[in-house]
Chain A
Amino acid sequence: MNRLQRWIGETVVTHSSWELVLMRVLFAWLIWRLLPLEVVYVAQPVPNGLGRLIDLTFLAEVELWHVLRLGAGVGLLLYTIGVAPVVSLGWPTLLLTSFGALENSQGAIGHHLQLTCMVALAQWGVYLASARQGLRQILWPDLDDHRLAVHWAKIVIAAGYVASACVKLIASGGLWLVQLPDISLQLIKTHANVYYDTLRPTEGWVATQLPNLISEYPNLTRFFFAPGLVLELLAFIALAGRARALMIGGGLLVMHWLVRVVMNLSFGSHEWLLIIFLVNIPYWMWCAITRVRSGFSPRKSAAA
């Protein structure tokens, strides 16, 4: 394997069973958190995606939604322990996707649900494909299926970021970095949006002085924002093993943190997906603890 292949060669990471359980627990929690207590949309004024195929306004019926959501909760509990994910993950995935389609059929496309739904759909697809092997696989998929499901989650996350970078280059005619100083107006806009959402004054230099600084120092702006675009373009490197996933996932988290500080915009579910599937903190903590322990324990002699 040459050096380039080692860097970008896609591998299915052989996560331990405890890592996979933790990933499922966190992902189930993320899906549950995204399912609202009630649905307030009683119409689909501008149907989008799934909403163009099905009238999803039935979800706004309070009692029905409570039952459907409760079913999703039970499903997610079963999914965390790895039981029948075709159904236990499939049901919450269908419900979240339906709710997201209804929400996006109000005429305002938001972007906080799509990546989670796509990750859930990809994982569900893996379990569905493995179901061909028989009832035992449907009820209790083996470790390799769970690993493949996690690998597909990473593929979807990486593809989402690469697509986002491609759109930046396509929509701007390759001039994204040239146009970047005009982001100062977007800063003013997002801070104004936050103010008119809550009427809490947006204070601090980020809201009051940064837009003018960006406008006055365009090259400095490009210097700070360009790495984000490069990271998004190279997000596929995260598929080349744990260390690359940590590097790309960590970098994208820093990018989101900067966007949150500068633009007052948060992509919470994207950040959680990066933490769960790419950064994988529990594994690295386990590595660190193991290393520290082995450093303190007496060496075994070769003869022993």
Chain B
Amino acid sequence: MIGFLARRLVQAIIVVIGVLLLVFLLAHIIPGGEARAALGPRATRAQVAQFNRINGFTLPLWDQFYRYLDNIVHLNLGYSYSYNQGVWALIASRLPRTIVLVGLSTILALVIAIPLGILQVVRRNHPSDYVMTGLSFLFYAMPAFLLGELLILYFAVDLKWFPVGFSQSETAIDILKDPRSLVLPMFTLAALTIASFSRYMRSSMMEAMTEDYVRTAKAKGAAPRRVLYGHALRNAIIPILTLLGLSIPAIVSGAVITETVFNYPGMGFLTVEAAMKTDVPVILGTTLVATVATVIGSLLADVLYAVADPRIRYARR
């Protein structure tokens, strides 16, 4: 296992540097570059030249990239002109908020989707299965902005049960102190995720129920509950673990549509705004976070695989 982890770590570093290099190069071929983006249409050539000089954009690209990597090592992700903040501070303020929103909604989705998927297998071809399947398809197909707007319209504007927007509090703790503002955006995200997770769970569970070891357990007289939870579930949940691992990048990189609809400036909104504003340091910073999260997520999924399935023995490979 240690060898496997070491190999994956080396791969991860290469992947992160590769992704950063790619984004760095792409960002630097944008017309007008960062100077025009930051200074706007009023900038004179002299002002553009001065901007490029003090920000080091006159250096060779490789030198700029080297300095960027060097700064990362020192936890300096650069400075955003459009936000007048260091990128690290900017991410540090947005990340906890996104983790609260997307993380909680993912947990909620898991808590609901797994039993729901199992229930659909147990009640397969019953009316309740058809209803749940129908609802899953409905939410799965529904765009987040539409669901969000409908929820706002009904529950916030008409019934006034919840605020129309998310808490604007700066810290995760303060956000959690205002749980009413969490309800609608969490439900919006969770509804879509539940739909997808429960479908995976249902099909995975159905597949597991046809496996030989389940048939054997049944033949040996194991109780249906034990067959379901003791034998089938442990194997059926492996695809969900993969999904969960792959959800980590989403948890840290945000849900841009939901954040936009609910006026919640999190990581997703930050990334899109940075792209729109050609704010290269922020683009690179959010890319770094998303890349690291992706690498960690897939690594975590692999490890969880091994934990959930004893047949997988990475250490021996």
Partners in one complex: no
Interface residues of B (CB under 8 A from A): none
